[in-house]
Amino acid sequence: MTGAKTAVFIYWLLGFGVLVFADVWKVRVESLVKALEGSCVVMPCSYQYPGDVQPTSLTTGIWHTENDQKYFVYHEDSKKIADNFKERTKLVGRLGELNCSLEIDEVKNHDNGPFCFRVELQTSDKDKYSFVKNCVRLDMIAEAPPPEMHSEDSVQEGHPAVFKCSVRHTCPSHQPTLSWSHKGKEMLTYKNIGHGNWEVESILSFTPTSADDHTDISCTVQYHRLSKGYVATRPVFVKEQATLNHILIPSICALGAAILVGGVCFFLVKRYKKRIDELQSRNDNSMLSRLSRMSRRFRSDGNNSGADGRHQRRSIWGRFSRYAQKLHLLYLTYPSCIQNRTCILGKRCYTTVLNIIDGGLF
């Protein structure tokens, strides 16, 4: 029984707390909002009050400065608005939906606030409240930043390419416009990123060609009330699409280079072969001339000798012929060795024979 009473008491206490905390005046605003000079800014605001929600027709919303609640930045009665803000402020939220957001147009560098919201309900003279502890200050921006662009470092010819351009701002009632320097399909998106900031993004898609290679693509943002546009630029690099020419041209070049190299090698081999033949012919003629001189020398000696010497000459001539045949075979095998006067064939030295031939001992 005691446990049941405790549970009932806890539920009663929670219900009482909800009623107490719900029956209060509250406002939700951003304490600091960026504002672009010359353009517009929206200060997001939502509120609540005790009792039932009243329609917009029975609710009055007012914005005033923090230090002077009679200095109206916005009022339903335009005659009560300060001259500095006349025709520049308006509520962009519906009070019946508890939205008290305020827009300031043509922002000036002295519109920095702080600004506070006040609500007046027509249900009673007591249902009025100024949220002076929750005011909004504006952070002035003299020059807007350029938009941000995102894309791949290179695109493929003949395949769809996507370029993205985005910019952040604080005036959703007058969204910035984005434009491209290149034709294509465009898609716009708007997104609330919180804390009074919004983002608008443009996505451009097109099929690049070789003519787009090494060109620039630009995205321009135009803010409300500003004549100057802010530009972001990125280069475009297009990878060519592979075709039959990309295969044939390198193949033909490689084949041509191979033919050229082969022709040069053939010419050089033929030239050096001809030179070798000339040197061999010259050496053969030299050897034959030596043999001819020795033959004439033998005939001359035969004329001077008698019949007794013919047998000796034939014996010498036979030996010489055998040496000459070996020498000729040696020359054909090792021509360079003969010219150096040293050659070994079967480990037998013929230097003496060469010296005899050169010395004319026969």
What is the Cα–Cα distance from 263 to 269, expressed in whole angstroms?
Answer: 10
**Secondary structure (DSSP) of 78-90:** GGGB-GGGTTTEE
- Burial zone of 221 (CB within 10 Å; 0-12 exposed, 13-18 middle, 19+ buried): buried
* 357 three-state secondary structure: helix
Q: Are 130 and 24 in contact (CB under 8 A)?
A: no
The CA-atom distances, in angstroms, between 180 and each of 184, 214, 236, 320 are 9, 17, 14, 104
Most confident of 98-102, 256-260, 344-348: 98-102
Which of 6-15, 66-75, 89-98 is least confident? 6-15
Q: According to the model, what pLDDT value does residue 7 have?
A: 44
- Burial zone of 15 (CB within 10 Å; 0-12 exposed, 13-18 middle, 19+ buried): exposed
pLDDT confidence tier of residue 74, bands split at 50, 70 and 90: very high
Asked whether the predicted pLDDT for residue 13 surpasses 50, the reply is no
Q: pTM of the predicted model, to two decimals?
A: 0.62
Q: According to the model, what pLDDT value does residue 242 have?
A: 62
Q: According to the model, what pLDDT value does residue 244 have?
A: 53
What is the Cα–Cα distance from 197 to 99, expressed in whole angstroms?
Answer: 17
pLDDT tens by residue, 172-202 = 999 999 999 999 999 999 999 999 999 999 9
pLDDT tens by residue, 197-228 = 999 999 999 999 999 999 999 999 999 999 99
Q: Are 128 and 118 in contact (CB under 8 A)?
A: yes
What is the Cα–Cα distance from 346 to 356, expressed in whole angstroms?
Answer: 20
- Residue 312 DSSP class: H
Q: According to the model, what pLDDT value does residue 9 have?
A: 43
Average pLDDT over residues 140-154: 93
Residues 222, 226, 229: CA angle, nearest 5 degrees:
40
